[in-house]
Amino acid sequence: MRVPSGEQLHVEYGTALQAFTARLPQGWRTMTSGGTPITWQEFSSPGTLPVQGWKLHVSAAATDVLDLVEIVLPRLVETGTTFKVAADVSTVIRLNAGLAGRSQVGKIVTAYPVSDEVLAGLVDRLDAAWRPLRSPAVPSDVPVGSGGALFVRYGAFMGTGSVTDTTGVIHPALRTPNGELHPDVRTTQGNQPRWATLPVRPAAARGPASPGALVEIDGVAYFPLKALAADHRGRVDLGLRVSDGTLIVIRRRFRGVEGDEFGNDAISRLDNERLVLLRLRGSGIAHELVAHDPEAGCLVVTDGGGLRLERFPAQRRLEQLPDLAETVARLHAQGLVHRDLKLSNTRLGPDALRLVDLELAAPSGTEKPIPVGTPAYVAPEGVHATVRPPYDVYSLGSCITHAVLGQCPGGLPQRNNAGRQIGLLRHYRLRTAASLVKECHSPDAERRPTARDLTQRLKDALPALQAESAAAPHAVLDTFDVRWARAAAVSAGLASRRFRVGRDGTYHWGDPSRHAHVSEGLNGGVAGILVSLATLNTALRIGQFTDDIRGAAEWLAERPAAVKAHGLFTGNSGVAVALAVAGRLLGRADLLDAARRRFEYAASSRILDYDLFSGAAGIVWAGRLLDAVLGTGWGSGLVEQQVRRIHKAAGRFDGVVGWPANIEYDSSGGVYVGAAHGTAGIAMALAGWGGATGCAATVQLAGEALHSIAEHGLTDDGSNIRATVSGSTMPAHTWCHGAAGFLWCLLQSGHASAVPDTAMVESIATKFDRAMPFLANPSMCHGVGGMLETWRMLRALPGHRARASRRIGHLVGILRLLHHAYEGATVWSSDQPAVVAPDLWVGFTGPAVQLALAANGSSAPVISPDWLQKCASPPAGP
């Protein structure tokens, strides 16, 4: 077998796939599907596929792809089996790296046998011929055959429809033997439908032993005590050596995962780390090597204790920067380069700071290193460059940014990432840090300081770094460029058209490379985008998006109501609100009728959730929104049964008035506190309904719930709410589970029925101000968009106008630094920097509407009675 070079493999695989396609028998069809980053080449036989059945997945490493074309694909064609295969080597690498999701690892070929008999025959034929050495296991499947490269899963084949669960998540549908539709869910435990009988004998699962199993290497036993990390690559456990009780760390990796075109994978990288640790033995730079089992993919090192440097408070992070640079200088003196240097790959223990995760490290001068890196830390010379110490110095620059801002710069858009880091530092008047980062990030590697020189510069600069960091929260301007905000908002609205799909004049938005099915909800679907565009029209006093609104509303009106998803953000209630806004705006009785039908269906449901996001409280709040839009009391009247259900289910949990979560959201039935899934959002909905209907008991329950959060649901320092009554927390700036969402609910509750007192709002807002991060992702749900909405609302309160104006100016400035171009238009990334989507709550139209509302001077939240009433009002005539 000839093995081409890694670079040549990409070309030769494409050539081999083209040649294979040219030899297909008559009647076969082929097409390319998907898109960046996962692309498939589909091969369809002349026969008809069943709608569902047992899929066969053939696993392979990137280095196996030429053999895959020669051995596996012809056998599929010989049996008349429809299949798809990764269209290029990059797709193989991304799949095996988990970039399409953990459950998709190893699925290089997916075959669709027309019967159980054909499947059994294929397994026998392929198992005899296909025995790759580095193919990863497929986590969602049952292993079959004895070669370790064949896996099966029962699932939908093509065109079987979809099922939306109660939380609004859309799944492909499976039909049970009794005719019911159930979601086709891919787990990472290999679970299959109970009613699907496996037609072939399962094989023994391979890979690391079960999490709590004893590990034995060279006759020495190690016992795992506590999981420290687990992902698609494997797991890391704190453990002890049984013979003497010494604490150690056990790192285990799966075969074939994160494999590349050069033959590296997670296990070979572990072996590379072993070699590096041997070279560093006794240096104090890293933990000491204890044991290694290459067959099992297991490495044992000493436990030095301590935490990642990113976990420490800001001033402590800054204090350690000289030590970090000095440790890197010592590593370079040993002739080694780390190549994945970041704060998460450090451990600050009681005696020293050490470097960890040296899987990518290499001796200086290595010409073909492992070509992997972390975004924002990879130097301009790239991961394929000959290994030199300046590569680490570039990474140290990004470590400085992280230490100063408290947020990993990997969350910034990758285009001009270095410039964005410097821009953010200057935005906060962090001039000393900006200067140091600029030096470290010089495009010319020879112009970067050495790690030893940087150590001294950091020592000299430490007082200035600390002083500027302490002053930074108050150093931003309280104004912003209104013209830019308006222009960026309009451009993002236009960018949504890049994702628009039209048919017969109706529109919806979708991204087939990410989702097979279109979502309807306010959170991440058509209804939310419709509301976004209506907001842009209203706030900016333009009519540019009226046709988009019309087309989206007509598409929604044609759709049947979701069977299970009735919530405000995830289902029928939110769709009804969007249809009502469009119906009033356009003067369309048919759209208003569609809104009423949707909402009547939702209001009569016995939904399992009680929360604002996908449950009963969201239905109640939607009733208030509909009444504002339609100018009636109809919506509030319909939801009375949901209000009664919420009253009945209320309880006290560690002092907080709360409601148990739906098990589809949290299988433990935890009790949440925040806006999306907990007490704050439910209380807001109750306050609004009680104030509108004059129900004193409901207003009282809402008030008790809100006050119980202030008294029993805050963190110890009072700057945040607990995410759950059990004590878990999310960052304070998040809308869903943080203090930002709590304030959002408090302020809307007060507007509805004067439930919260001024002192409560004042206290929470003051502490929230102190907890504001320097940087977050752009979204409404988890980042800058949601913070900007909260501060716009606070600007309406006399005691907060100056502070709120300053925060609004600084948040608009951050959005300006976070924006990037998509096909020439302005967009922002979602929670994941590589994902761009036009959604309201988790996509780029959320930041756009916040810019528009800030430029308008509005203090109204988007999903509020007052604002949606304005959006639904037809523009005044000339």
CA distances from 498 to 415, 491, 820 (A): 20, 11, 15
pLDDT over threshold 80, residue 210: no
CA dihedral 514, 517, 520, 526 (to 10 degrees): 50
State mean pLDDT over 761-777. Answer: 87
In the chain, where does the domain assigned CATH 3.30.2430 lie? 6-183
- pLDDT computed for residue 513 by the predictor: 42
Residue 289's DSSP bridge partners are 301
State mean pLDDT over 821-832. Answer: 92
pLDDT over threshold 80, residue 752: no
CA torsion sign for 311, 317, 319, 323 is positive
Q: Express each pLDDT in 603-644 by its tens digit.
A: 999 998 999 999 999 999 999 999 999 999 999 999 999 999
Is 782 annotated to bind ligand? yes
- pLDDT computed for residue 542 by the predictor: 97
In the chain, where does the domain assigned CATH 3.30.200.20 lie? 215-302
- pLDDT computed for residue 549 by the predictor: 97
pLDDT over threshold 50, residue 666: yes
Q: Quick check: helix, strand or coil at residue 298?
A: strand
- pLDDT computed for residue 874 by the predictor: 84
What percent of the chain stands above pLDDT 70? 96
CATH topology of domain 215-302: Phosphorylase Kinase; domain 1 (3.30.200)
- pLDDT computed for residue 481 by the predictor: 94
Q: Express each pLDDT in 225-252 by its tens digit.
A: 999 988 889 999 999 999 999 999 999 9
In the chain, where does the domain assigned CATH 1.50.10.10 lie? 482-871
Distance CA 92, CA 17 (A): 14
Is 736 annotated to bind ligand? yes
- pLDDT computed for residue 799 by the predictor: 83
Longest dimension (CA), the chain: 88
Q: Express each pLDDT in 496-505 by its tens digit.
A: 999 998 777 7
pLDDT over threshold 80, residue 473: no
Q: Are 754 and 748 in contact (CB under 8 A)?
A: no
**DSSP secondary structure of 696-718:** HHHHHHHHHHHHHHHHHSB-TTS
Q: Are 174 and 190 in contact (CB under 8 A)?
A: no
In one-letter notation, the amino acid at residue 365 is G
Q: Are 53 and 112 in contact (CB under 8 A)?
A: yes
**Residue of 287, 291, 307, 310 whose CA lies nearest to 299:** 291
Q: Express each pLDDT in 669-688 by its tens digit.
A: 789 999 999 999 999 999 99
In CATH, 313-474 is 1.10.510.10: yes
751 pLDDT tier (thresholds 50, 70, 90): low
Residue 620 tokens read as 């109640």
Distance CA 482, CA 854 (A): 8
Q: Express each pLDDT in 518-547 by its tens digit.
A: 789 999 999 999 999 999 999 999 999 999
State mean pLDDT over 53-75. Answer: 97
pLDDT over threshold 90, residue 7: no
What single-letter DSSP state applies at residue 745?
H
- pLDDT computed for residue 772 by the predictor: 87
pLDDT over threshold 60, residue 877: no
Q: Phi first, then psi: what are they for 6, rounded to 5°?
A: -55, -45
Q: Are 469 and 318 in contact (CB under 8 A)?
A: yes
CA distances from 199 to 53, 142, 177, 493, 522 (A): 11, 11, 16, 51, 42
266 pLDDT tier (thresholds 50, 70, 90): very high
Q: Are 626 and 600 in contact (CB under 8 A)?
A: no
878 pLDDT tier (thresholds 50, 70, 90): very low
**Residue of 154, 228, 142 whose CA lies nearest to 188:** 142
In the chain, where does the domain assigned CATH 1.10.510.10 lie? 313-474
pLDDT over threshold 60, residue 515: no
Residue 487 tokens read as 């222009």
Within 10 angstroms of residue 711's Cβ, the number of other Cβ atoms is 11
pLDDT over threshold 50, residue 377: yes
State mean pLDDT over 1-26. Answer: 88
* Model pTM score: 0.89
Is 399 annotated to bind ligand? no
Sort residue 282 into left (φ over 0), alpha (ψ -120 to 50) or beta: left
Does 861 sit behind a cis peptide bond, omega within 30 degrees of 0 on the bond before it?
Answer: no
Q: Are 62 and 74 in contact (CB under 8 A)?
A: no
- pLDDT computed for residue 574 by the predictor: 98
Residue 443 burial class via C-beta count within 10 angstroms: exposed 0-12, middle 13-18, buried 19 and up: exposed
Q: Are 283 and 165 in contact (CB under 8 A)?
A: no
754 pLDDT tier (thresholds 50, 70, 90): very low
Looking at domain 6-183, which of 3.30.2430, 3.40.630, 1.25.40, 1.10.287 is its CATH number?
3.30.2430
Distance CA 794, CA 69 (A): 62
876 pLDDT tier (thresholds 50, 70, 90): low
State mean pLDDT over 120-142. Answer: 95
179 pLDDT tier (thresholds 50, 70, 90): confident
CA distances from 574 to 570, 581, 589 (A): 7, 11, 18
Q: Express each pLDDT in 541-590 by its tens digit.
A: 999 999 999 999 999 999 999 888 999 999 999 999 999 999 999 999 99
What single-letter DSSP state applies at residue 35?
E
Distance CA 55, CA 198 (A): 11
State mean pLDDT over 807-828. Answer: 94
Within 10 angstroms of residue 23's Cβ, the number of other Cβ atoms is 9
- pLDDT computed for residue 3 by the predictor: 57
pLDDT over threshold 80, residue 389: yes
Beta strands, E only, 321-423: 336-337, 346-348, 353-355, 362-363
CATH topology of domain 482-871: Glycosyltransferase (1.50.10)
166 pLDDT tier (thresholds 50, 70, 90): confident
State mean pLDDT over 758-778. Answer: 87
State mean pLDDT over 40-64. Answer: 95
Distance CA 93, CA 12 (A): 16
pLDDT over threshold 60, residue 516: no
pLDDT over threshold 80, residue 4: no
**Region of poorest pLDDT, from 450-464, 733-747, 780-794, 821-835:** 821-835
Q: Express each pLDDT in 400-431 by its tens digit.
A: 999 999 999 998 988 899 999 999 999 999 99
In whole numbers, what is the pLDDT of the chain averaged over residues? Answer: 92
**Residue of 154, 113, 152, 138 whose CA lies nearest to 59:** 138
Backbone Cα Rg of the chain: 29
